Amino acid sequence: MTLNFWKMNGAGNDFVMLDNRDLSLALTQDQIERLCDRHRGIGADGLLCVEPATEGGDFKMRYYNADGGEAEMCGNGARCFGRFVNRLHNDSLTNIRFETLAGMISAEFEAGQVRINMSAPHSLRLNDTLPVEGESLTVHSVNTGVPHAVVFVEDLDNVPVRPWGAGLRYHEAFKPKGTNANFAKELAPGSISIRTYERGVEDETLACGTGMVACALIHHELTGAPSPVSVLVKGGDTLRVGFTETAPHEYTDVTLFGPADFVFHGSVEI
Ligand SMILES: N[C@@H](CCC[C@H](N)C(=O)O)C(=O)O
């Protein structure tokens, strides 16, 4: 079978994009994993499908990690999804609402950049002390559509992202679903730099949208920095996270603004 696909990236987090509005595709976990394989496939951190809405949105977004497992949400993927859907409509849309397993997301378009409005974060925890790889880490956590652990560090360049990331991802404290793991450093009040180890990729990625939101909210919790918070990612882009705190530790209007770029269009045999 020949599959038409588009390749996109959001701040370096890269995705295979598929138009499944007619529901003709039913890819297996194994097929998705092979498509995302950087040596034997197209290569990507994840795969997104556009499907018809069933719960009052304009479309449904399905997101799969590179290991072929489905995840509830992907912030960079959602920005790419918005731009991709707009391209399928000859760039005639100004905004869309789409369903995800983490709730309804809306996207609006601004000169190649996309702002998404995300579902309310939950399960915020601050200052847990956890043993990881022989170190005692101060770990914060929040679910921004998918689970994230956040550790602030002094030396972000030299933080052992893979071993510490995997240590947190599989930590007893986050079982059974595991977590994504972020390492962050304050650059200035309201400005942070982060690196993320992604669950389902099982490695560091160049950017993670839900991770940026998690780190920005924790930065706000720890320092009181107002919205928006600027977040510099490993890939070199700086994105903006906006939010409104409605009550202590309760947030609404959580937005992520940044690039969503087309890379190429092709076909592949599966
Ligand atoms: N890259 C994403 C997050 C994708 C899901 C994540 N790997 C998980 O399994 O929770 C983003 O941009 O948010």
Tell me the CATH number at 220: 3.10.310.10
Q: Rounded to the nearest 10 degrees, what angle do helices 209-223 and 75-88 cross at?
A: 130
Q: What is the mean pLDDT of the segment spanning 156-167? A: 98
| pLDDT digit string, tens, across residues 16-65 | 999 999 999 999 999 999 999 999 999 999 999 999 999 999 999 999 99
In a domain, 170, yes or no: yes
CA quadruple 94, 97, 98, 102: dihedral sign:
positive
In a domain, 208, yes or no: yes
Residue with CA nearest ligand 1 atom 5? 74
- The reply to whether ipTM tops 0.95 is yes
- Residue 112's pLDDT is 84
Name the token pair of 156.
Answer: 């972000």
Q: Which residues are catalytic?
A: 74, 208
Is the domain of 90 the same as that of 129?
no
Is the domain of 224 the same as that of 129?
yes
Is the domain of 107 the same as that of 193?
no
**Cβ-based neighbours of 172, under 8 Å, separated by 6 or more:** none
Q: Is 57 annotated as a binding residue?
A: no
In a domain, 266, yes or no: no
Distance 205 CA to ligand 1 centre (A): 10
- Average pLDDT across the chain, whole number: 98
| % of the chain beyond a pLDDT of 90 | 99
Is the domain of 70 the same as that of 108?
yes
In terms of residue numbers, what domain contains 59? Answer: 2-116
Report the alpha-carbon distance of residue 116 to residue 74 in Å, rounded: 11
In a domain, 218, yes or no: yes
Read off the pTM: 0.98
